[in-house]
Each structure stands twice: as C-alpha cells, then as structure tokens.
Amino acid sequence: MRDRIIFILQLLFTLLVAAFLAVPAALSIAAGVTVNYFRGIQSGITLQWVAQVWELYAGTIMASILIALGTLAVTLVVGIPAAYALYVRGGRLARLVEEIITLPLAIPGLAIALALLLTYGGFGSFRRSWLFILAGHVIFTMPFMVRSVMAVFATIDVKSLDEGAASLGAAPWRRFIDVIVPNAAPGILAGSLMVVTLSLGEFNLTWMLHTPLTKTLPVGLADSYASMRLEVASAYTLIFFVMIIPLLVAMQWIGERGNLR
Amino acid sequence: MSTMTRHGAALKVENCGKTFADGTCALARATLDIAQSETLVLLGPSGCGKTTLLRIVAGLENPDAGGRVLFDGKDLTRQPIEKRNVGMVFQSYALFPNMTVADNIGYGLKIRGVKRAERAARVAELVVLTNLGGLEDRRIDQLSGGQRQRVALARAVAIRPSVLLLDEPLTALDAALRERLRGELNSLLRTLGITAIYVTHDQAEAMELGDRIVVMRKGAIAQIGTPREIYFTPADRFVAEFVGAANIIEAPIDGTHLVLPGGRQPIADSGPRNQAVAMVRPETIGIVEAPASGLTGVVDSVRFAGDRQRIIVRGAASIPLTVDAPNTIKVHAGERIGLSIEPNSIRLLPAEG
Ligand SMILES: Nc1ncnc2c1ncn2[C@@H]1O[C@H](COP(=O)(O)OP(=O)(O)OP(=O)(O)O)[C@@H](O)[C@H]1O
Ligand SMILES: [Mg+2]
C-alpha cells in the first residue's frame, strides 16, 4: 500500500516536471501556426509564418546545416584517429592530450569564442568566413566525438583487436579501416548525432563569432525574437524543432540499443 | 599426415628483460633457444612474466636495451609484429566481430594479397583441419567458446607463420572442453610441425604439449627442461611444488640415510651434506605391512578417487606424507603401516636461499 502511494507520488512528480518542460514548447509550436496569437487558436491555423521565416531566414538554416555537416566531417576525420591513437598508445602523454581535447567541455562557449577572437581576429578573411564559426564548432564538439568513440573502444577491447590484426600482418592504417572503425560504429554514430545536434543548437560561441553575413539558425532565432512578431519567432522555433527532434530521438534509440547489447 | 615435416623458424631470445614505464620489472634478462618445429611451453603462476616474454617474441613489446630477438639468425628486434610473420592466439582470442568465421580465418591472407580463389581454398583447408565445417558464414558472437578458440587457431595458422604463439588459449574454457581441446591442439601442433611457444599456468597442459618446458617464477626462469626432467629432477623447491604434487621433507642425513621420525630411509645421492631438503612424489611411495625396521607411519586419512586413492600418513616424516596408492589397497585411518620408497626416487633439492 505504502509502495503504491510512493509510486503514484513519483509518477505525479515526473509528469509535473515533464509538463513544466513540455508545455512551453507546445505553446511555442502552437503560436507558430496560429493566425493571431493574442486572439488564440480560434483565430485560425496558418503556415504563413513558417513561409515568412523561410523567406527571411532560409540562409541561416542552410548555413546551420552546412556548418553542422562540416563540423561532423572534421570531427570524424580528426576525432576517430585521435581516439584510436590515444587509446592504443595509452600512457601519460595520451592522458594529457585527452585532457586538453576535453577541456572545452568545462570552458564556457563565450570564453572559447573570446580566445578565438583574440588569437585569429586579426586574420580578416578568416575572421569573416564561415570557417571561423566552423573552427569554433569543431573545438566545442570534438570532446563529444572523442569521448563517445573512446567509450565504445573500452567496451570492445580495441587493443586486443588491434594487436590481433597486427599479428596477421596488417599495418596501422589497414587495421584502423578493416577492424577498428567497423567495430566502433555504434560509438561513431552516437558521437556523430551528438556533434550534429550540438552544432545545430550552439548559440553562445556562435553569437560571439558571427558577422552579419555568417549567421546560423540559433543566432537568427535570437534575432527574430528581438525584432519580429511573436508568431514569426515561434514559427522559427517550430522549424528548429522539426530539424532537431529526429536527431534526438535517433540518439536515444542508439543509446538504448547499445545498452541492450 | 604421418610423415612429420618441419616448419617455422628457429628462435633465439637473447638477454631480453622488460621493465615497464612504471618501473615494474616484469622480466629479468633471459636467454632462450627454440629449435625449429619445437613446442616450448612457458609455465608459471599468474604474474610471473609469461605473457611479457611471449609479447617480446611477438614484437608487441620492446625488450629493455641490449635484448635481441632472432628468427633463423635474423635480428628482428626492431621490427613491429606485423613484419614478423608470427601467428598469435590471444587469451581473449581477439576475433573480429565485424567479420564472419571465414573472413576471420582469411584476413591474414587478404592482407598478404593472396587471390580470392586461393584464399578460399586455404580457408576451406583450415576449416577442415580445425573441425569448423558448416560454421564458415557465422558471426563470431554466434559461436561457442570452443569454436571461437578454434577460429583463433585457424586464423593464426592460415598465414603459415614462422612461429605460432599461444597465450593461455584454453583458459577461458570449462574443464571438460579444455581437456578435449588440449588433445586436439596437441595433435594439430604435431601435424603442423611448426615452431610454437605456448603459455600456460596449468602444469598438466604443459606436460602434455611441451617438448620442453620453461618454468618461470617472479619474472625469472627457474628451470628449462623436458617434461620428464622438470617432473623427476626439479631444480628447486618451487619447481617441485608447482609441477605436480610433492612431499618436501626436511631431515638430517646420516651417511646414506635420511633420519626421519618414522625410521631411516636410504637415499641414492647425498653428497657431502648432513641436512637435506628432499622431494618425494606421492605416487613413488609404496604402502607395505609395517616392517620390523625401516620407515613406518600411521594412516591419517584415505580419500578414494576412483582410479587411485590418496592417503595421508602421519608420523613418518616431519610433515604428513601424501601417498598416491593403487585403488586396490585396503587401509583405514589409525592403522600403522610401512612405507617403501625407492632411493632413486628421492630427489635432494638445494637448501632454500
Ligand atoms: N603494461 C604494463 N605496465 C606495467 N606492468 C605490467 C604491464 N604488463 C604487465 N605488467 C606486470 O608485469 C608482470 C608480469 O605480467 P605478465 O602479464 O607477463 O604475467 P603472466 O605470467 O602472463 O600472468 P598471467 O598468468 O596472470 O597472465 C605483472 O606483475 C604485471 O602486473
Ligand atoms: Mg598472461
């Protein structure tokens, strides 16, 4: 009996917390498709705001997608071999490098942006190009890729696999392609989704680094909140949700499948 | 099959020691010669440096400066494992989960650029040899422990290595399977006639598989010899007790006899000593009617084990003696009996240092 009451209380509490988070999101999405938010939903449902957002901000949306994919490409090409080298090498130096790579996790995005500006702000064309924001995103997301790949390495005993392939005559690069990458696939996938999601939603660092010509979706979003009708800003949020939620669901799903194994 | 051909390289491990970065001295400088087609077993308790020595031969670990590893006289010390043409069976097997059984076995050949058809033929040959028929297309996680062990072996052998290195290949299996695979492994090694180094901490495995056994203790070689030499003439107390069961008796010597609480026991070789540490194997002690003179004791307990019985005898020596007697002898606890020991089967060991 007592267990039951505790269970019901826990359930209520959980639902309450979920509602606390979900209601604003739902309201915001609803606002994005109502004709006039102040008159409520009875004013009618429309896609005109979504269309308007698309017209005004299509550039930032495309930019966000391209930067997310670019960030993914760099973290894959650099992060996986780095994780491999760090894991197989081991030792004190490897641990130091790992700490340095992971450092951005603990540093506020603003501080990273400031450091980048101080260091490279003088290189005008780099400063003004997309590459500048890409660089920021790579620094910010790299630890997530390296960490999730190293986590999967730890579960598949990658050192033995590597030595096994080496004993059969495979050179390091060959072992990496034939054995390491295929067996680390779940970790690589999880890392990739995380990198893309984080890059799409990143605001602090991007806001500091952006120029009027290099704006990403979240920066545009802040912009629209400040200067547009509430409905437009909400429609913008709606588009962001549509992009990000499938990624989050996929991440959850992969995580669960990983736990089952 | 019956004509034994010799394969593989003759190996020389010269002055190889290993001190790890953290200061652990895992292996004192050791020198070993391994003849072509010989099976050498590294035997010792956990942590004695067996794997370390094997990994130095494999090229997975660098020996301390001054150490050299030679294959057929060629110095390969600086070569990494992928350039040494060794076949290695890891304790964890290290099979590739992303490949089928056939692809695992054929991987080394693929790396060597062997054509598809030729590769398939060689894989088929090994599948037969290691009794894996019908499992070629399975994934590794669909195999039993014993099957995995055989895939690991087939994969290592497929490349016709200079030397086959096996690190406790049977330890992960249950006792019955271990016994059966030990037999299979033995006949496979004889069939292949390949140079092999086999690491184990199981003395029964070492006895059955080894042409010679290297007994190791705390990073050093305690004794090298054939299984018979190791068993009958152990170099010291550690080897005597680690390999098989042994009664270690400390007693004064009077000329050609051990002076024991239960009587005087003649011995063959004593040298100029007057105090001895003597080893007697349990199966070399005979049980007789209590004699008028000679060694006697009192039966403490009898454990019947089917094919033989293990009898503990008190009062004969300073320690209770373990005797393995034929299963037909009838004695009971408390009975006074005589013990007959061939002088030749008593081995005097060096005093503890
Ligand atoms: N990478 C390493 N760094 C530091 N010490 C190590 C390392 N590898 C092994 N050792 C130490 O070296 C010693 C010998 O290890 P080794 O693995 O050779 O033992 P082993 O005889 O194979 O034991 P087991 O039967 O348990 O496998 C151990 O004390 C071990 O802790
Ligand atoms: Mg070991």
User: ipTM of the predicted structure?
Assistant: 0.85
Q: What percent of chain B has pLDDT over 70?
A: 97
Q: Do residues B280 and B321 touch, judged by C-beta distance below 8 A?
A: yes
Which of ligand 1's atoms lies nearest the C-alpha of B219?
14
Phi, psi of B343 (to 5 degrees): -55, -35
Tell me, yes or no, whether B256 and B232 share the same domain: no
Mean pLDDT score, A116-139: 84
User: Is a pLDDT exceeding 60 seen at residue B4?
Assistant: no
Q: Is residue A35 part of a domain?
A: no
Same domain, B100 and B224: yes
- Residue A259 has a pLDDT of 57
Using pLDDT thresholds of 50, 70 and 90, give the confidence band for residue B35: very high
pLDDT of residue B71: 96
Query: B43 in a domain, yes or no?
Result: yes
Confidence grade of residue A60 (pLDDT, cut at 50, 70, 90): confident
Residue type, B52: T
Domain final residue pick, B176, B207, B239? B239
Q: Rounded to an integer, what distance in angstroms lies between the CA atom of residue B92 and that of residue B230?
A: 29
Among the listed residues B237, B188, B229, the one whose alpha carbon sits nearest the alpha carbon of residue B209:
B188
Q: Are residues B341 and B296 in the same domain?
A: yes
- HSE toward the beta carbon, residue B56, CA cutoff 13 A: 31
pLDDT band at A75; cut points 50, 70, 90: very high
B257 and B221 in a common domain: no
B24 lies in a domain? yes
Question: In whole angstroms, how large is the CA radius of gyration of chain B?
Answer: 24
Over 90: is that where the pLDDT of A117 sits?
no
Interface of A with B (CB under 8 A): 91, 156-157, 160-161, 163-171, 174, 178-179, 182-183
Residue B179 has pLDDT above 70, yes or no: yes
Residue B16 and residue B53 in contact, taking contact as beta carbons nearer than 8 Å: yes
CA atoms within 13 A on the CB side of B101: 25
Provide the domain count of chain B.
2
* Same domain membership, residue B262 and residue B148: no
Average pLDDT over residues B259-280: 85
A224 lies in some domain: yes
Q: Is the pLDDT score of A115 beyond 90?
A: no
Q: So what's the pLDDT on residue A48?
A: 80
- Any domain includes A145: yes
Inter-chain touch B95–A164, beta carbons under 8 Å: yes
Read off the pLDDT of each residue in B158-166 and give the average, rounded to a whole number: 95
Q: Does B49 sit in the ligand 1 pocket, CB within 6 Å?
A: yes
Banded model confidence at residue B352, pLDDT cuts 50, 70, 90: low
Query: Per-residue pLDDT averaged across B318-336, rounded?
Result: 92
Strand order in the sheet with B25-34: B25-34, B11-19, B68-71, B74-75
Query: Do B91 and B124 share a domain, yes or no?
Result: yes
- Residue A22 inside a domain? The answer is no
The verdict on the CB of residue B50 being under 6 Å from ligand 1 is yes
The C-alpha angle A17, A23, A29, rounded to 5 degrees, equals 145
Q: How many CB atoms lie within 10 A of CB B112?
A: 15
CATH of the domain at A196: 1.10.3720.10
CATH number of domain containing B308: 2.40.50.140
Q: Which of A91, A161, A166 sits opposite B81 (nearest CB)?
A: A166
B6 occurs within a structural domain: no
Query: Cα of B203 to ligand 2 centre, how many Å?
Result: 15
Q: Which residue of B has its CA nearest to A261?
A: B141
Local confidence band at A25 (pLDDT 50, 70, 90 cut-offs): confident
User: Do B231 and B255 reside in the same domain of the chain?
Assistant: no
pLDDT in tens, A33-59: 888 777 777 777 788 888 877 877 788
Q: Is residue A226 part of a domain?
A: yes
Mean pLDDT within B120-124: 96
pLDDT at A124 over 80: no
Same domain, B188 and B278: no
Ligand 1 contact via B47 beta carbon (within 6 Å): yes
- On whether residue A179 sits in a domain, the answer given is yes
- Tell me whether residue A19 is in a domain: no
Name the residue at shortest CA distance from atom 10 of ligand 1: B26
Q: Do B191 and B296 belong to one domain?
A: no
Residue B168 lies in a domain: yes
Q: Quick one: B183 and B303 in the same domain?
A: no
Structure tokens at B315: 């009062």
Pocket test for ligand 1, best of B18, B19, B20, B242 (most atoms within 8 A of CB): B20
**Lowest mean pLDDT segment, chosen from A170-174, B147-151, B227-231, B255-259:** B255-259
- Which range of residues forms the domain containing residue A114? 49-260
Q: Which domain holds residue B308?
A: 246-349
Q: What is the pTM of this model?
A: 0.81
Q: Let me know if residue A182 belongs to a domain.
A: yes
- Give the pLDDT of residue B353: 53
List the Cα angle B4/B6/B7 in 5-degree steps.
130
Look at chain A and report how many structural domains it folds into: 1
What is the reported pLDDT for B234?
Answer: 93
Q: Are B244 and B216 in contact (CB under 8 A)?
A: no
Considering chain B, what percentage of its residues have pLDDT values greater than 90? 76
Among the listed residues A111, A138, A133, A141, the one whose alpha carbon sits nearest the alpha carbon of residue A218: A133
Asked whether residue B112 is assigned to any structural domain, the reply reads: yes
Instruction: Give the Cα separation of A26 and B313 in Å (integer).
Output: 86
Ligand 2 centroid to B91 CA: how many Å? 8
What residues of B are in contact with residue A91 (Cβ under 8 Å)?
A: 21
Average pLDDT over residues A217-232: 80
Query: Stretch B137-142: mean pLDDT, rounded?
Result: 93
In a domain, B89, yes or no: yes
Chain-chain contact of B90 with A163 (C-beta, under 8 angstroms):
yes
Q: Does residue B5 belong to any structural domain of this protein?
A: no
Spatial neighbors of B218 by CB under 8 A, at least 6 apart, are B48, B49
Q: Mean pLDDT over all residues of chain A? A: 85
Q: Are residues B198 and B287 in the same domain?
A: no
Pocket test for ligand 1, best of B22, B24, B92 (most atoms within 8 A of CB): B24
Residues of B with Cβ-Cβ distance to A161 under 8 angstroms? 94, 96
pLDDT score for A215: 82
